[in-house]
Amino acid sequence: MRVILTRQPAQAGQIEAGLEQLGYRIGFLPLTDFQLPGDLVQLDEMVSGLHEGAWDRVLFTSPNTIRALVARGWEPANTELHTNIAVTGPGTARVLYYYGATITPWMPTDDASADGILNQFPSGPGRLALPQGKAAGAAMTQGLTERGWDVTHVVAYHTVDYPAAADRALLPAQNGVLTPANLTADDVVVLTAPSAARRWAETVGNVAALIAIGQPTRRAAEHHHIALAATAPSPDAHGIAQVLKRL
């Protein structure tokens, strides 16, 4: 059995490492990619503000928000001296450390869903920076505002079909990625995001099973009439392995 994750090798982390330690062969089938917005004015203004201490807190809801800001010159080690940094999980924290942060950021202790984050996030008042992907919607901004924060929201990146425009891509091009034509009937594909589910619905592929990594991805798969074998009980190697053992 080969386990295929619908993202790029540059996004690999504890999920891939954990599955490999359990003896599974891993492959990467990137269906979506990420690129900077065409208009960079607001993003550049946020970089300047983060360096100048314009906000009391900044919340990163995905690793790509960090990559987008770094691409425009942001230095995490500068910001953490005067601003409390928050992330939504260890994967985002790992990218934050990679780019120079040294102080442990705030993150939710268990539930990393939007509701879980908002239930645990400190209450305002205060000024909060919230860079997000274009597809994120307004739920986090609204929830944080209701918790007393003065939120500055900026679109940091766009999710696009793979591959992104070379001059705006957030992730480096890498060799060894698969295409739908490389899939076999023995492969198990893990849909790693709602956007991947949308793209999979446009892909013709005969595989052994499809797994959703979490409930938002499950809902997207159902919306696009994708037949799932299961949804991982937790969005990590352990949760995916639980499903794989039952296949």
Question: For residue range 55-103, what is the model confidence (pLDDT) as tens digits?
Answer: 999 999 999 999 999 999 999 999 999 999 999 988 899 999 999 999 9
Identify the band that residue 140 occupies on the pLDDT scale cut at 50, 70 and 90: very high
In the block, which residue shows the tokens 């910001």?
79
3-class DSSP assignment, residue 118: helix
Asked whether the beta carbons of 195 and 32 are under 8 A apart, the reply is yes
Where along the chain do the CATH 3.40.50.10090 domains lie? 2-30+177-246, 35-159
Rounded CA-CA distance 150/185 in Å is 51
Joined together, the tokens standing for residue 215 give: 């409930």
CATH architecture, range 2-30+177-246: 3-Layer(aba) Sandwich (3.40)
Closest CA to 130 of 144, 116, 120, 119: 144
Joined together, the tokens standing for residue 82 give: 């005067």
What does the pLDDT read at residue 235? 87
Q: Average pLDDT, stretch 34-52? A: 98
Tell me the angle at which helices 63-71 and 90-98 cross, rounded to the nearest 10 degrees: 20
User: Where does 35-159 sit in CATH, by number?
Assistant: 3.40.50.10090
pTM comes to 0.88
Rounded CA-CA distance 136/216 in Å is 12
Question: For residue range 115-136, what is the model confidence (pLDDT) as tens digits?
Answer: 888 999 999 999 999 999 999 8
Number of CB atoms found within 10 A of residue 115's CB:
10
Rounded CA-CA distance 203/181 in Å is 10
